Amino acid sequence: MPSVTLSDVAREAGVSLATASRAINGSANRTVRPELRERVLAAAAALHYSPDANAQAMARGRTTTIGLIVHDIADPYFSSIAAGVTAAAEQAGLMVTLASTGHDPEREIAFIEVLQSQRARAIVMAGGRTDDEAVNDRLRAALAAYRAGGGAVAMIGQPLFDVDTVVIENAAGAADLAGALHGAGYRRFAALAGPAGHLTARDRMDGFAAGLATHDAALSPEHIVRSAFTRDGGYEGMRQLLESGAAVDVVFAVNDVMAVGAMAAARDAGVAVGTGIGIAGFDDIVTLRDLTPSLTTVRVPLLEVGTAATELTLAEPALEPRIQQVASTVVLRDSTPPRT
């Protein structure tokens, strides 16, 4: 209601609007006498002046907003990334606008358009993509339109959209994991591979298989079960695997939450995780570090992934899309004890 404007401050201080503006934003060349400056600041304080960011955005032609689009902010994978993004954004003096899409590409597109309307400086997009090229094309188009308007974009995951991307070493990490498990004495492998079209899941599976191949081991097709990329998917997949009576000594779940579901399924089936059957995941979700047995996984520095993506969008635009790899490292824990 008592929306006090810069004009009010100027009048109160007995100076012109221009001077008030200069005194307050204190931009580069603040050509304003200290005396007046004080008067203005005092007036502003007295009137409880709060600059209107929207008006500033209009006048300056640029906002102070960065958009973050994730599949599900309640998922620890994404919330860790979000923590990195908010930290980097604050560092840069930006506010982050959060969109949680519930895995719906339509909403991703809608949010991109909204962020474009807000004239957000940049958009960070996280979350595994699928191989649905119809959807991908529309996403590409939305991003292209946004970028045409001067916005920067950074993706997190795999380099799919010809924009700056923070690439998570899914294949390499999974390959390393395969090697480590083989080194620990495991020989009969199975995998909870996630949904068919899921690219992250696919990369991890491919990497795991490649890693096994390095050691003359292999993953027979009947030991690969597909299910949702979620805790319940992991549970269901593991249940099926156990029910099939497959002779397996370790199972790789393509992410930690699926591994958690798998552990639960094993327990429910009376199979001891660790001694009875090994289970490994991917991501190293912090909240899950105290599971029993502790979960073997591949650590992805999610927080840094978030900050890296944010910084990418803030850097000088490059001609070529930048690809920034972040290393993933194997963490062997009790869910895959050495097999003698």
Partner DNA sequence: TTGTACGCGTTATCAT
Partner DNA sequence: ATGATAACGCGTACAA
Contacting residue, 42, 45, 46, 59, with DNA by CB under 7 A: 59
* Structure token digits, residue 306: 């978030």
Q: Residue 118 binds which entry of DNA, a second copy, none, with Cβ cut-offs from 5 to 8 Å by kind?
A: a second copy
Among 7, 91, 292, 325, binds DNA (CB under 7 A): 7
Note whether 323 binds a second copy by CB under 8 A. Answer: no
CA-based nearest residue to 64, from 110, 119, 27, 116: 119
Contact 262, 287 (CB under 8 A): no
| 45, interface contact from a second copy, DNA, none, CB < 5-8 Å by kind | none
324 interacts with DNA by CB under 7 A: no
Total residues in contact with DNA, by rule CB under 7 A: 30
Quote the least distance from Cβ 221 to a second copy, whole Å. 28
Establish how many alpha carbons lie within 13 A of residue 157's alpha carbon, considering only the half-sphere containing its beta carbon.
Answer: 22
| 3-class secondary structure, 66 | strand
Do 122 and 62 form a contact (C-beta atoms < 8 A)? no
Closest to DNA by CB, 33 vs 267, is: 33
Report the partner that residue 303 touches, choosing among DNA, a second copy, none (CB closer than 5 to 8 A by kind): a second copy
Q: Rule CB under 8 A: say whether 63 interacts with a second copy.
A: yes
Residue 45 binds DNA, judged by CB under 7 A? no
Residues sharing a CB contact under 8 Å with residue 26, sequence separation 6 or more, in sequence order: none
Helix, coil or strand: residue 95: strand
35 binds DNA per the rule CB under 7 A: yes
Task: Name which of a second copy, DNA, none residue 68 binds, using a CB cut-off of 5 to 8 Å depending on partner kind.
Answer: a second copy
Q: Does 163 bind a second copy (CB under 8 A)?
A: no
Contact between 137 and a second copy by CB under 8 A: the answer reads no
Is there binding between residue 15 and DNA (CB under 7 A)? Answer: yes
β-strands 152-157, 164-168: how paired? parallel
Note whether 17 binds DNA by CB under 7 A. Answer: yes
Question: From CA 33, how far away is CA 30, in angstroms rounded?
Answer: 9
Asked whether 192 and 251 are in contact (CB, 8 A), the reply is yes
Find the binder of DNA among 2, 3, 93, 340 (CB under 7 A): 3
Select from DNA, a second copy, none the partner in contact with residue 178, using the beta carbon and a kind-dependent cut-off of 5 to 8 Å.
none
Q: Which bin fits 162, alpha (ψ -120 to 50), beta or left (φ > 0)?
A: left
42 binds DNA (CB under 7 A): no
Residue 266 gets the label, from left (phi > 0), alpha (psi -120 to 50) or beta, of: alpha
Question: Looking up tokens 């959209």, which residue turns up?
Answer: 161
Nearer residue to DNA within complex by CB, 6 or 260: 6
